[in-house]
Homo-oligomer: A and B are copies of this chain.
Amino acid sequence: MARFNFQGEPPTEEKEDVCSLTLAQNVIAGRWKIIILWYLSRRTRRFNELQRLLPGISKGILTRQLRELEEDGMVHREVYKQVPPKVEYSLTQQGKSFIPVLNTMGEWGKKYMEIKQNE
């Protein structure tokens, strides 16, 4: 059954899509977040490990991106009370549910790279 929209008013379904995409956009906004999520999708990582994996990132900004991902419920932070300190970062259930997005995005990126190289 066709759906009519007077004056091009957007249907509710579209609004929902826009809303959820905006939400996703907010969560992954940040220069390093997608890559951080991807590294954590492979295994748990320590702070220093992440810093080594992310070339050129400073401790301050890495801390902030991780804190924001934590606030958004994507990342779990496990502190081991010992000296020297040890902190491990991993994906929460919600963070893990984001992995399909990373995969789709990665596949797209690969094709995109090939095309760019053949230009």
Binding site for B on A (CB under 8 A): 10, 14, 16-25, 27, 29, 31, 34-35, 38-39, 42, 53, 73, 94, 97-98, 100-102, 104-113, 115
Closest Cβ neighbor of A115 among chain B residues: B94
User: What 10 A-B pairs come out closest when comparing CB atoms?
Assistant: A20-B109, A24-B109, A104-B104, A23-B109, A20-B110, A24-B105, A101-B104, A25-B34, A101-B105, A20-B106
Least Cβ–Cβ distance between A55 and chain B, in angstroms: 10
With A21-B105, A21-B106 given, name 17 new contacts (CB 8 A).
A14-B42, A16-B110, A19-B113, A20-B109, A20-B112, A20-B113, A21-B35, A22-B35, A23-B112, A24-B34, A24-B105, A24-B108, A24-B109, A98-B108, A100-B108, A101-B108, A104-B104
